[in-house]
Amino acid sequence: MEPHWNPMVESQAVDRVHRIGQKQDVEVVRYIVQDSIELYVRWVQNHKLRMIRESLSSSEQNAETVSDVRWKKLLEFLE
């Protein structure tokens, strides 16, 4: 499967495969091509999950906006 921008959508898709009455083990394979947009999408997923964890904790947020961080990271992956 390809990575999805929203990590929760991807997680839900994996969970559905297991709920549809599967009797056998199911293996999920994520295809990530080196030097491709999939690496950026995985980074966005991890960044979103980190933001969720940070928002639920009591630590202070970084002053840099989410869009600034993502823009810099996208440029980094495209270089």
HSE, CB side, 13 Å, CA atoms: give it for residue 72. 7
43, 73 Cβ separation under 8 angstroms: yes
79, 72 Cβ separation under 8 angstroms: no
For residue 24, the model assigns a pLDDT of 82
What's the predicted TM-score (pTM) here? 0.55
Give, in degrees to the nearest 5, the angle at Cα 68 between 55 and 58. 15
- Local confidence pLDDT in tens for the 79 residues of the chain: 667 778 888 888 888 877 777 788 888 888 888 888 888 888 888 888 887 777 666 555 555 676 777 778 778 877 7
Extents of the domains making up the chain:
7-14+28-78
